[in-house]
């Protein structure tokens, strides 16, 4: 009978055409029970090298689930009301003024957005991150046409996330720096995330990525070690309570993430995936999942007290093989 470590090893030893695993951590009840690291290939962003327990890696869209946590902290502080219209000044007096923060969290803003990571001709995401919207991601996304009535149509959108991210920055920074692309704005957001989330969880390796307007790119950019991503997963497994016993997220906020808005009948997994409020669901296990481009996963399975983190480089076309193996690991744990 294979052990959890055997199954982690099998994921790393997939055929090269099925992708590359860089780091994987499996925790049960908060303790590491299986772990492995690989080798980072050279990329356009820098030279590769061995990946270790201390190597921070990119989240890609797993960062969206960190946005859910940031919003929850501000809700607990009484500084943000998710049911209220999103505080985007440019939307005042337009039909977009009806968009709520919750609409953005549920990706039902109604804004036109094409979430494509390959086709630069039709990708709002590529235009936002690397093209015409790269200087100010939130302004680019907020300026897109309103395609549907807010709250009616689900459309996975990194643009919605970056609008929320700017709102988080505005609330954290206050009026003095809300409209200024200043170093102080970035420092205030970094301090908020470290003081209220990363620090209490012991996520000492964690850092954020910002655009030129000093807004955290919450759609895509958290860097952390695999163990630190697992610590974030443990926060949601523990109903928003840190290892110290201090409550980080408001009561009911994990269930808030777990409220399914849509279903994606992807062939990555037989049951498909559900979508909630910046978290995915694995219906077979009633799991929460933070998912990122190229096979980044934090999967939380409460019944088995599991948190599974996988970081690597896996093309969309073959991701189903990786998901199948992670699902089998959970199933047999």
User: What integer is the mean pLDDT of 182-190?
Assistant: 89
pLDDT digits (tens, 9 = 90+) for 187-200: 999 999 999 999 99
pTM, entire model = 0.95
pLDDT category, 176, cuts 50, 70, 90?
low
Report the 10 Å Cβ neighbour count for 14: 17
- The two three-digit tokens of residue 23, written as one number: 């780091």
The three-state (H, E, C) secondary structure of the chain, written as one string: CCCHHHHHHHHHCCCHHHCEEEEEEEEECCEEEEEEECEECCECCECCEECCCCCCEECHHHHHHHHHHHHHHHHHCCCCCCCCECCCHHHCCCHHHHCEHHHHHCCCCCECCCCCCCCCCCCHHHHHHHCCCCCCHHHHHHCCCECCCCCCCCCCCHHHHHHHHHHHHHHHHCCCCCCCCCHHHHHHHHHHHHHHHHHHHCCCCCEECECCCCCECCCCCEEECHHHHHHHHHHHHCCCECCCCCECCCCCHHHHHCCCCEEECCCCCCCCEEECCCCEEECCCCEEEEEECCCEEEEEECCCCEEEEEEEECCHHHHHHHHHHHHHHHHHC
pLDDT digits (tens, 9 = 90+) for 70-121: 999 999 999 999 999 999 999 999 999 999 999 999 999 999 998 876 655 6
pLDDT score, position 1? 65
Per the prediction, the chain carries an average pLDDT of 94
pLDDT category, 131, cuts 50, 70, 90?
confident
User: What integer is the mean pLDDT of 157-167?
Assistant: 97
pLDDT category, 9, cuts 50, 70, 90?
very high
pLDDT digits (tens, 9 = 90+) for 308-324: 999 999 999 999 999 99
Give the percent of the chain with pLDDT over 90: 86
pLDDT digits (tens, 9 = 90+) for 235-293: 999 999 999 999 999 999 999 999 999 999 999 999 999 999 999 999 999 999 999 99
24 pLDDT above the threshold of 90: yes
133 pLDDT above the threshold of 90: no
User: What integer is the mean pLDDT of 134-151?
Assistant: 95
pLDDT score, position 48? 86
Report the 10 Å Cβ neighbour count for 77: 12
Please tell me the distance from the alpha carbon of residue 183 to that of residue 23, in angstroms, as a whole number.
33
pLDDT score, position 44? 75
180 pLDDT above the threshold of 60: no
Contact 220, 46 (CB under 8 A): no
Please tell me the distance from the alpha carbon of residue 120 to that of residue 134, in angstroms, as a whole number.
14
pLDDT category, 126, cuts 50, 70, 90?
confident
pLDDT score, position 119? 57
Sign of CA dihedral 316, 103, 203, 325: negative
């Amino acid at each position: 009978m294979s052990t959890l470590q055997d199954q982690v090893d099998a994921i790393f030893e997939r055929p090269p055409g099925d992708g590359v695993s860089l780091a994987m951590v499996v925790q049960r009840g908060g303790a590491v029970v299986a772990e492995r690291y690989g080798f980072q290939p050279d990329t356009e962003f820098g030279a590769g090298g061995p990946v270790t327990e201390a190597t921070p890696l990119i989240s890609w869209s797993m960062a969206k689930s960190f946005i859910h946590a940031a919003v929850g902290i501000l809700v607990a502080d009484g500084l943000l009301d998710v049911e209220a219209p999103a505080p985007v000044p440019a939307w005042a007096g337009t039909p977009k003024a009806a968009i709520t923060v919750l609409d953005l969290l549920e990706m039902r803003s109604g804004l036109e957005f094409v979430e494509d990571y390959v086709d630069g001709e039709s990708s709002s995401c590529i235009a936002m991150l690397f093209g015409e919207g790269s200087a100010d991601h939130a302004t680019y996304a907020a300026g897109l046409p309103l395609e549907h009535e807010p709250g009616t149509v689900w459309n996975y959108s990194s643009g919605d996330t970056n609008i929320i991210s700017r709102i988080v920055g505005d609330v954290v920074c206050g009026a003095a720096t809300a409209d200024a692309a200043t170093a102080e704005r970035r420092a205030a957001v970094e301090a908020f995330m470290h003081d209220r989330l990363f620090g209490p969880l012991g996520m000492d390796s964690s850092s954020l990525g910002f655009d030129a307007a000093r807004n955290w790119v919450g759609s895509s950019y958290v860097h952390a070690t695999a163990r630190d991503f697992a610590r974030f997963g443990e926060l949601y497994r523990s109903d928003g309570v840190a290892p110290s016993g201090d409550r980080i997220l408001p009561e009911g906020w994990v269930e808030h993430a777990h409220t399914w808005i849509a279903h994606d009948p992807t062939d990555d997994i037989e049951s498909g995936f559900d979508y909630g409020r910046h978290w995915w669901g694995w219906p077979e296990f009633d799991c929460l999942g933070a998912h990122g481009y190229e096979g980044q996963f934090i999967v939380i399975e409460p019944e088995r007290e599991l948190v599974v983190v996988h970081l690597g480089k896996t093309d969309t076309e073959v991701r189903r093989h990786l998901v199948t193996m992670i699902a089998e690991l959970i199933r047999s744990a």
